[in-house]
Chains A and B, each alone.
Chain A
Amino acid sequence: MNDEHDHDHDHEGHGQSASMASRVAALVAKLEARGILTGAELDAAAESFLTSTQRAMGPALVARAWVDGAFRARLLTDANGALDELGIDMTHWAKVKLRAVENTDRVHNVIVCTLCSCYPVALLGPSPSWYKSLAYRSRVVREPRAVLAEFGVELDPSIDLRVWDSTADLRYVVIPRRPEGTNGAGEAELAALVTRDALIGTAVCRV
């Protein structure tokens, strides 16, 4: 399989997508005819999912951990309990257990799901296409440093790379390192430095 091939996946022609749209509509119409669910119900669910404010909470979680050592400790030992304190609900189709792993000056953590696409959706929203790509899933467990370099992350050789393959009912989130020069910054200001990729481990936070 070549690069072009994989590339095509995410940029399929308009015709293919139009035919998918009509197939999906046909299935929903059949489900509606049988009284199983309604299109309106699905639209409302999609709208509510896309407008959920909770997704901004990943960066807020990190900012709180950076300023509050006791919270950070709770987040690392009982992430769901710490999330409850911030009013974050990890329920997606079912409630899932979250585990936070912390980057330090000695360890850098990266998250993947090699078998499918497990991701902390309830916290971060739908995953980016690259996270679900065969290229990322196949490579990051074998050559994480090379993958991170492609993402523009150059780590000191002394830092250990830890890859977490999400194979079960746990979901992972990375607590990135707090950038230098942010002493005195407030939580909102700090949260603005935390990107989604930093929460997956494929970016570092910069001022």
Chain B
Amino acid sequence: MTARFKAGDRVRTRAANPEGHTRLPRYLCDRRGTIETAHDVYPLPDERAKGVSLELCKKEMLYTVVFDGREVWGEQSAEPLSVSADLWDTYLHAEQPT
């Protein structure tokens, strides 16, 4: 499987999580971030949590995505910071560069 994104690409996380197990935290839903690292293909936890075997489970690229604190907590956020999370391809949309 080829990686849809590379380091430096702008992405937006999906707007809301589906029912069931997933690993995109709510505070990072519908947020713009930057791909920091394209790691490797990993089994999708959303499927694994249903008991799907490793063999049959969908595998997707995993990325470390970095978000600016103001994007996550608003321009008025008290502290400058960046926060990153490790996110599967399904959680991400391509975002036009700014």
Measured CB to CB, the residues of A under 8 A from B are 97, 114-115, 141-146, 160-170
Q: Output the nearest chain A residue to B83 by Cβ-Cβ distance.
A: A163
5 A–B contacts, CB within 8 A, in A order: A162-B84, A165-B85, A167-B25, A168-B87, A170-B39
Q: How far is the CB of B45 from chain A (nearest CB, A)?
A: 8
Instruction: Please tell me if the beta carbons of B84 and A144 are within 8 angstroms of each other in the complex.
Output: no
A94 and B73 CA atoms in complex are apart in Å by: 35
Instruction: Please tell me if the beta carbons of B87 and A161 are within 8 angstroms of each other in the complex.
Output: no
Instruction: Please tell me if the beta carbons of B82 and A161 are within 8 angstroms of each other in the complex.
Output: yes
A-B contact count (CB 8 A): 65
Secondary structure call for the B interface: mixed
Instruction: Please tell me if the beta carbons of A169 and B62 are within 8 angstroms of each other in the complex.
Output: yes
Q: Which residues of A contact B72 (CB under 8 A)?
A: 141
Q: Which residues of A contact B6 (CB under 8 A)?
A: none
Residue B86 CB within 8 A of the other chain: yes
Instruction: Please tell me if the beta carbons of A167 and B81 are within 8 angstroms of each other in the complex.
Output: no
Of all A-B residue pairs in the complex, the 10 with the closest CB atoms, nearest first, are A168-B86, A161-B81, A163-B83, A165-B85, A167-B85, A167-B23, A145-B79, A167-B86, A114-B25, A141-B83
Q: Which residues of B contact A164 (CB under 8 A)?
A: 83-84
